């Protein structure tokens, strides 16, 4: 009896062991297959609703859902260049020099390490090496993203274009001139007299449609915490009118973007006005124009210009036979890149967004996605951007270009696509600009 019981017990234990072993092996296999599904995208793969599981974790959940629902098709590609190298020689050189040179003060602004003085006329990225244990790591990353644009000097777009889209059609278009005068980021900035401590000055001018054409906005951004100063010219009253700088989460020109939604990191407000933290490091699929860099040339004014005879990006609404969303870009590629997930929460209690999560390239400093929740923390909008590097033929200049951004508001079933770089809108950097244009007196040139 005892032996029988012992034998039965022994058999039970053996069964248990075998069962456990098999379970463990099975679970491991499942996990491996599963994780192989996460990272098993290769150049040449086409990800659509039949194999969307492959990109789980590599894109935000919203994007995954779009692919699953057939709204999006992602073409996995590879780049023939290293995006981390898409910076000018002076910026590359500054990467070594800037290590430890700058820090973040209690107000969240950049200061010179040691002296604690406000840092101005920084060349290149201020924080080329970021320690992830640094409590200011997120803020430093955002400053690096900001400087990815500032190191291009003054920038000009002749005709940025926005498409306002409903579920099935393009409702309207907006076209505007945009230019920025930078006081930091590039070597020439040191020679600019800047007693007012401007970081950058900017002008937007609407050129179409007719009823708001002529509307122009002038803004001055300062180093430090100081709020922006902005003025608007309204053709309806023929006057320049002071605007409040605080409604940054308000819609801009009726688009699905707020004023703060632009920028290389997908945040264009003042960095100290948010609390930032890094949530995770991971791999992600970022959108690129194509495998190659676009060409930078000198235009007749001696400025660097990336121009194109065609419209490089095609969207769903203009692609024959496309059955996905009309706002989806249909001819871009996605490339696996290392990113940080950065969370931002506005300090302003009236800000119209709740927590936002930015997916920022660790080396390229560009924002691929921004997940936006409402003030109750519920999912609301998602921004996704297309990028490319640009290089001159003699390799004396390299920059990061931002051809397009798309903000999808699924709650209101509406989307805005910005097209920054197309045939009528060359990307001009190191622009020859008249700083006088950005004064109250000079701004009249842009007013009807």
Partner 1 sequence: MAKKRNRRVLRVILCTFILCFLSSTALALYVDKDNTIEMKGKVQTRFSFRTEDSSGFTFPEVSAGDWVQFRNIAYLEMTHDLHKVMDKTWLLAPFEALKLDVQYHLVGRFLYEGIYEVGPDQFQMVKDENYDVIREFESDISLWEAYADLSRGSMFFRIGKQNLSWGETDVFRLLDQINPLDNTFGGFFEDLDDRRIPIMMVRGSYNFGRIGPLGNVTLESFWNPTPMDNTVSPFAPYGSVYAFPAPPPTEGVETRFIEPEKNMDDSRYGFRLQGMMADNFAFSVAHYRSYVDVPALRVVLDPGPVQELVYSDINVTGGSLNFYEGFTDTVFRSEVTWTWDMPIFIPETNAPLLLGIPESGTIPTKGMLGFMVGFDKNMWIRLLNKRNTFFVSAQYFGQWFPDFDERMRVAAVSFSTGEFETIKELEQSMTLLISTSYRSGTINPQLAFVYDPRGAYMIQPQLTFVWEPIRFLIQWTAVNGEQHGIGFFNDRDQLTVGLSVLF
Could you tell me the smallest distance in angstroms from the CB atom of residue 143 to partner 1? 22
214: left (phi over 0), alpha (psi -120 to 50) or beta: left
DSSP line for 340-386: EEEEEEESSTT-S---EEEEEETTT--EEEEEEE-TTS-EEEEEEEE
| Nearest-approach distance from CB 409 to partner 1, in angstroms | 8
Q: How many angstroms separate the CA atoms of 11 and 4, rounded? A: 10
Nearest distance, CB of residue 245 and partner 1, angstroms: 7
- With a CB cutoff of 8 Å and minimum separation 6, the contacts of 356 are 267, 343, 344, 345, 370, 371, 372, 373
CB of 265 to partner 1, least distance (A): 23
DSSP-assigned letter for residue 209: S
Bridge partners of 343, per DSSP, are 277, 357
In whole angstroms, how close is the CB of 256 to partner 1 at the nearest point?
7
Pick the closer one to partner 1 by CB: 202 or 389.
Answer: 202
- At its nearest, how many Å lie between partner 1 and the CB of residue 406? 14
Which neighbouring-strand residues pair with 1? Answer: none
CA angle (144, 147, 150) in 5-degree steps = 175
Instruction: Name which position in 88, 414, 427, 428 contacts partner 1 (CB under 8 A).
Output: 414
- Judged by CB under 8 A, which of 26, 27, 279, 444 binds partner 1? 444
Grouping H, G, I as helix, E, B as strand and the rest as coil, residue 149 is helix
Is residue 107 within the footprint of partner 1 (CB under 8 A)? no
Select 377 or 441, whichever has its Cβ closest to partner 1: 441
220-254: b or e for each residue (b if 16 or more CB lie within 10 Å)? bbbbbeeebbbbbbebeeeebeeeebeebbeebbe
- Per CB under 8 A, the list member of 235, 338, 354, 355 interacting with partner 1 is 235
Distance of alpha carbon 28 from alpha carbon 51, whole angstroms:
22
Determine if 247 is a binding residue for partner 1 (CB under 8 A): yes
Report if residue 410 touches partner 1, rule: CB under 8 A: no
Q: CA–CA distance from 6 to each of 17, 261, 311, 344 (Å)?
A: 16, 71, 79, 62
Task: Answer yes or no whether residue 297 interacts with partner 1 by CB under 8 A.
Answer: no
Dihedral angle over CA of 9, 12, 14, 17, nearest 10: -130
- Indicate the residue among 97 and 242 with the shorter CB distance to partner 1: 242
Q: Rule CB under 8 A: say whether 244 interacts with partner 1.
A: yes
Count residues near partner 1 (CB under 8 A).
Answer: 53
Q: Does 292 bind partner 1 (CB under 8 A)?
A: no
Site for partner 1 in 148-187 (CB under 8 A): 158, 164, 171-173, 175
Nearest CB to partner 1, comparing residues 255 and 385: 255
Shortest reach from residue 91's CB to partner 1, in Å: 30
The DSSP secondary-structure symbol of 218 reads: E
Q: Give, in order, the Cα–Cα distances in Å from 111 to each of 104, 123, 138, 204, 276.
A: 6, 14, 16, 30, 18
Among positions 238, 298, 347, 432, the unique one binding partner 1 when judged by CB under 8 A = 238
Residue 24 CB, nearest distance to partner 1 (Å)? Answer: 51
Residues that bind partner 1 (CB under 8 A): 158, 164, 171-173, 175, 195-196, 207-211, 213, 220, 222, 226-227, 229, 235-239, 241-247, 250-251, 253-256, 350, 352, 374, 412, 414, 416, 424, 434, 436, 439-442, 444-445, 448
């Amino acid at each position: 009896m005892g032996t029988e019981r012992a034998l039965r017990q022994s058999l039970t234990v053996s069964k248990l062991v075998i069962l456990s072993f098999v379970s463990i092996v099975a679970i491991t296999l499942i996990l491996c297959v599963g994780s192989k599904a996460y990272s098993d995208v290769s150049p040449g793969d086409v990800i659509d609703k039949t194999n969307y599981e492959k990109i789980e974790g590599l894109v935000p959940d919203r994007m995954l859902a779009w692919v699953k629902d057939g709204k999006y098709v992602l073409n996995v590609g590879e780049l023939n260049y290293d995006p981390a190298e898409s910076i000018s020689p002076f910026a590359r050189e500054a990467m070594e020099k800037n290590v430890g040179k700058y820090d973040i003060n209690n107000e969240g602004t950049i200061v010179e390490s040691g002296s604690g003085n406000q840092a101005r006329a920084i060349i290149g990225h201020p924080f080329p090496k970021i320690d992830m244990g640094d409590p200011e790591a997120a803020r430093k990353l955002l400053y690096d993203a900001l400087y990815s644009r500032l190191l291009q000097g003054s920038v000009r777009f002749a005709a940025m274009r926005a498409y306002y889209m409903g579920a099935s059609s393009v409702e309207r278009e907006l076209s505007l001139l945009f230019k920025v005068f930078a006081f930091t980021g590039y070597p020439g900035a040191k020679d600019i007299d800047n007693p007012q401590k401007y970081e950058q000055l900017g002008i937007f001018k609407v050129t179409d449609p007719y009823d708001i054409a002529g509307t122009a906005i002038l803004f001055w951004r300062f180093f430090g915490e100081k709020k922006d100063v902005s003025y608007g010219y309204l053709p309806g009253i023929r006057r320049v009118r002071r605007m409040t700088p605080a409604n940054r989460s308000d819609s801009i020109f009726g688009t699905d973007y707020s004023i703060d939604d632009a920028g290389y990191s997908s945040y264009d407000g003042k960095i100290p006005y948010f609390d930032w933290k890094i949530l995770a490091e991971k791999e992600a699929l970022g959108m690129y124009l194509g495998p190659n860099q676009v060409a930078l040339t000198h235009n007749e004014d001696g400025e660097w210009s990336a121009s194109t005879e065609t419209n490089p990006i095609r969207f769903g609404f203009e692609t024959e036979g496309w059955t996905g969303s009309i706002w989806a870009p249909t001819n871009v590629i996605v490339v696996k890149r290392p990113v940080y997930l950065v969370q931002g929460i506005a300090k302003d209690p009236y800000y119209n967004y709740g927590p936002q999560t930015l997916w920022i390239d660790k080396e390229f400093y560009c924002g691929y996605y921004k997940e936006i929740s409402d003030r109750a923390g519920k999912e609301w909008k998602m921004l996704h951007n297309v990028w490319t590097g640009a290089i001159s033929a003699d390799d004396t200049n390299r920059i990061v270009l931002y051809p397009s951004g798309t903000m999808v508001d699924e709650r209101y079933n509406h989307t805005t696509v910005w097209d920054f770089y197309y045939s009528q809108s060359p990307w001009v950097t190191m622009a020859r600009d008249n700083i006088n244009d950005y004064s109250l007196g000079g701004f009249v040139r842009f007013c009807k």
